[in-house]
Structure 1
Amino acid sequence: MAEITYYSKEGLEKLKEELHFLKTQGRAQIAKAIAEARDKGDLSENAEYDAAKEAQGHHESKIAKLENTLANARLIDESKLDTSKVLALSIVKIKNTRNGATMTYQLVSETEADLKSGKISVKSPIAQGLLGKSVGDKAEIAVPAGKMEFEVLEISR
């Protein structure tokens, strides 16, 4: 059985838009490339045709994967989420207890994760260590650089 993934409204819309693009404009571009390659003559020795057909296979695989992701996607109603503990879509302000550095992250699905904008995957080690914690709780988290301890300062949506 496929894994259910939770998304924010924006994240789900982004996936739907990407799928629509791939099914419409993406397929049209590939069909055009195949037609152009076919027009160049003998298909048995036409490297362009082979490359275009291979690109078509990759493209259709990507569409199938996105359709599967969307079929198992669930929208989270952020208005009903508990802000007393860290959950998916929580915005969490944490403090590294060793050096005092504070960071703010939003826990999102893997496909929405973008560290530059402060969004980390709920499957990342830091998010896994924070899930279920409340304000004031400390979490010791094993990261690639070793063990780190964080204190939860704030939880919001």
Structure 2
Amino acid sequence: MANEYILTPEGKEKLEKELHYLENEKRAEVGERIKVAREFGDISENSEYDDAKNEQGMVEARIAEINQILSEATVVAVPKRSSRVNVGSTVVVNMGGRERTFTIVGGAEADVASGKISNESPVGAALLGHKKDDVITTTGPTGREVEMTIVRIEQ
């Protein structure tokens, strides 16, 4: 079964920029590190060479991952005006007297630290399709029930 990736236009652009950087700058940088490390002599006991080869493997794996995501992704058009929460919406919710702001994105571009939550996460999935003033109860990431009231939806 193939993965289903959902990206916002912004998320697609961000991945394309990362791919360009990895393919055009990072690859060359790591290649140079490998070349320099080889010049140190015996590569069987050369930690610089091992580190550079490991980094090369990680860079190539990330390039392959991004290429796969971009080739299989569905880019969702963010509605200009909608009274309901969609992928791409920024939602302000009241959670126990505290306002939190989330942007609903596809799993490939989720970044909880910057407030971007996946449409597949418990909170993201619960918010989809709801409108301002709706009260939603869902299971949070810690396994506890979370009650949220939608304060505002921005597109």
TM class, shorter-length: 0.7 to 0.9
Aligned-residue offset at 1:13 = 0.9
1:17 correspondence with 2:14: no
Q: Which residue of 2 aligns with 1:150?
A: 148
> Is contact 1:107-1:127 (8 Å) kept?
yes
Aligned length: 154
> Is contact 1:83-1:90 (8 Å) kept?
no
Q: Could you state the TM-score of these two structures normalised by the residue count of structure 2?
A: 0.83
In 2, the alpha carbon distance for the partners of 1:106 and 1:9 equals 13
Higher Cα Rg, which structure: 1
Q: Could you state the TM-score of these two structures normalised by the residue count of structure 1?
A: 0.82
Q: Helix, strand or coil for the counterpart of 2:6? A: strand
Q: Which residue of 2 aligns with 1:33?
A: 33
In 1, the alpha carbon distance for the partners of 2:152 and 2:145 equals 22
In 1, the alpha carbon distance for the partners of 2:92 and 2:48 equals 52
1:129 correspondence with 2:138: no
Aligned-residue offset at 1:118 = 3.4
The farther-off stretch of 24-33 and 123-132 is 123-132
1:58 correspondence with 2:62: no
Structure 2: 5+ residue runs without aligned partners?
A: none
Aligned-residue offset at 1:9 = 1.9
> Is contact 2:104-2:118 (8 Å) kept?
yes
Structure 1: 5+ residue runs without aligned partners?
A: none
> Is contact 1:6-1:76 (8 Å) kept?
yes
> Is contact 2:78-2:87 (8 Å) kept?
no
Identity within the alignment, %: 37
In 2, the alpha carbon distance for the partners of 1:52 and 1:155 equals 46
CA RMSD of aligned residues (A): 2.3
